[in-house]
Amino acid sequence: MADGFDDEEMTPELRLQGARDWAESVQARFAERYSGLLARETNAAPLHIRDDHLRKMRDAVEGAGGEMMGEFDAMLTRPASAKVGEYDEPRTRELIQQIVDQVSETMALAALEPGGRKLLVSSVPSGLVNAFCCANTWDDEYHHVFVDSELFIFCASLAKIVATCFTRGVVKDGAIVFEDRRIVSNAKAPDIARRIEDMFAAMVFLGTVRASEPWIPEAGALTLYIPLNVAMERFVIAHELSHLMLGHLETASESVGVRDDAFGDTEATIFSHEAEFEADAAGAVLATETAVRLGYSNALTSVAPYIFLKGIEVVDACQSLHKRETGGIDSTHPSSKDRLHSIRAVMDRHMSRKDPDGNLPIVLQRIDQLFYWIRQQAVAGIVKRSAIGMTPREREDLRLFERDNPPSILGLRVDPGRIEAVGDEMSNRISR
């Protein structure tokens, strides 16, 4: 127990309340910084799980004869839990907890430990496509996973675009024909091009993907959109749980701090780049195997981690047009390009075991080709808006700074063999 509290004087209820109070203090710092940059909407639940939007989605899927109706019904009938703090978003927290439970069960079946402490999940108003895990500095009995609903909206928006491109005119007898070149050309269709421009321009110029226009995909895309969206969300949560499972909280360096001018310099746990690659590898296997266990796996959900990181790469490309470099040696995460290279190797090694039809190479090729054009459309939208005088919304990112010696935490000497070994170990244990 931190701050000199006597364990014997603390009931479980008081410890839990203290841990939640600590989490709210983290939320409050983010909210204070964020509120000066962007006013949040009154109804802050992610767009794709707001009841009215979800109900329309459910009706559209039912009309198309789609699956996963139980998933919709559970969301619609589940009562919203109460806020546990001023800055909490109950719907976001519920979704995080649901995915944590799913991934944790997959881990338990493989006798994998999630870190040894009690886990709490919280939404966080950071205004960024962001998630992180950390130890509770008030009570070491707890650790936390924080996720901004901005990240879930990003996953939903990206999944709609990808699902439409992979289904419009290219489904035969209920199956996607991955050899069909229309998958790529769909990204250049006027309506999809507009959605791509709107999504990434909202992130750059308005500071939030929430500002993009909500839309419901056509009926043929909905049954792919739903599992693909959830699969990307699972990867994000599985990545954070993997940090805990791999012991990264216990081995993280304290030789760097986090600089944020909005609330000054503060100490924080920052993982090495090597740890981030390891969490990607383990998280990708956990996420894909969870989808298999739940019966929601297909050729695209199995590579959802790769699709998610391709989307982040497009964000990076758009931000860099205004000299906002992301990733690299002074960032809290490796560059999206490096993460993509690493996760591609994991996909090749793990998913090839479960690809009797040999579709994986052509699926990955189509994803690469598709995202080339998604990137082209997104960048063109940024350039076009910049030309008429639009300027990016002010934005503050967490940056690293050195305390004493050059920090080893940046993991500049990443061992690819170690990353592959983590992925292989996860594959072997889960596949037993």
User: Band of the pLDDT at 332, cuts 50, 70, 90?
Assistant: low
Mean pLDDT, residues 359-376 taken together: 94
Average pLDDT over residues 61-70: 62
φ and ψ at residue 265, rounded to 5 degrees: -80, 135
pLDDT of the residue at 194: 96
Query: Which of 69-73, 316-320, 333-337 is predicted most confidently?
Result: 316-320
Average pLDDT over all residues of the chain: 77
Report strand pairing: 142-147 vs 118-123: parallel
Residue 400 pLDDT: 41
Q: Output the six-digit token pair for 270.
A: 């920052």
Q: Which residues of 411-423 are buried (b: 16+ CB within 10 A; e: fewer)?
A: beebeeeebbebb
Do 429 and 111 form a contact (C-beta atoms < 8 A)? Answer: yes
Q: Which two tokens stand for residue 309?
A: 């990181």
Q: Helical H runs in 130-210?
A: 149-167, 182-185, 190-205
Q: What is the pLDDT of residues 189-222, one digit of tens each?
A: 999 999 999 999 998 888 888 888 888 888 889 8
Q: What is the pLDDT of residue 411?
A: 32
d(CA 311, CA 31): 26
Here the tokens at position 113 are: 């430990």
**Phi and psi dihedrals of 34, rounded to 5?**
-75, -35
Binning pLDDT at 50, 70 and 90, where does residue 232 land? very high
Q: How far is it, in rounded angstroms, from Cα 176 to Cα 341?
A: 26
Residue 229: predicted pLDDT: 92
Q: Give me the torsion for CA of 13, 15, 16, 18, rounded to 10°.
A: 120
**To which H or E segment does residue 225 belong?**
helix 219-245
Instruction: Map residue 298 onto helix, strand or coil.
Output: coil
How far apart, in Å, are the Cα atoms of 259 and each of 142, 248, 264, 394? 25, 21, 7, 16
The residue-averaged pLDDT of 142-157 equals 88
Distance between CA atoms of residues 141 and 112, nearest Å: 19
- Mean pLDDT for 400-412 is 35
What percent of the chain is predicted at pLDDT more than 90?
Answer: 28
pLDDT of 40 over the 50 cut: no
SS3 167: helix
Q: At 56, list the tokens.
A: 């329309």
Tell me what pLDDT residue 260 has: 43
Q: What is the b/e burial string over 323-332, where b = at least 16 CB atoms within 10 angstroms of the residue's CB?
A: eeebbeeebb
Whose CA is closest to 346, among 282, 432, 292? 282
Q: CB neighbours (10 Å) of residue 32?
A: 13
Task: Quote the CA–CA distance of 73 and 65 in Å, as a whole number.
Answer: 15
